[in-house]
Amino acid sequence: MYAVLFQVDFKPDWPGDLEAEIAELVEGTKQSPGFVRGTWARQEAQGVSFIVMADEASARAMADNAEAPPEASVTIRSVDVFEIWRDV
């Protein structure tokens, strides 16, 4: 298995509905080929998500297609792919 680690910065004073946006993001991510599970976390103006994918090709495809549209609540700081060595 492989993981895609996203690091994002939340835009200050973003006028949208954050709960609705994350719900839409989660549902879309769950439909991605190779999706196993995901975790989204936030601390003040920063966020991370750790998305577990079944194989390297699926993880790389997700990372390669990562983008936040201009109207999104976040800007993407980084996207990295990791091989999972242990999962308990």
Q: What is the mean pLDDT of residues 65-74?
A: 94
- pLDDT value for 25: 94
20 membership: H or E segment, kind and range: helix 18-30
Find out whether 41 and 49 touch, Cβ atoms under 8 Å: yes
- pLDDT value for 68: 93
Q: What is the DSSP letter of 31?
A: T
CATH assignment, 2-83: 3.30.70.100
What mean pLDDT is reported for the chain? 96
pTM (predicted TM-score): 0.92
Tokens coding 85: 């060595």
- pLDDT value for 51: 98
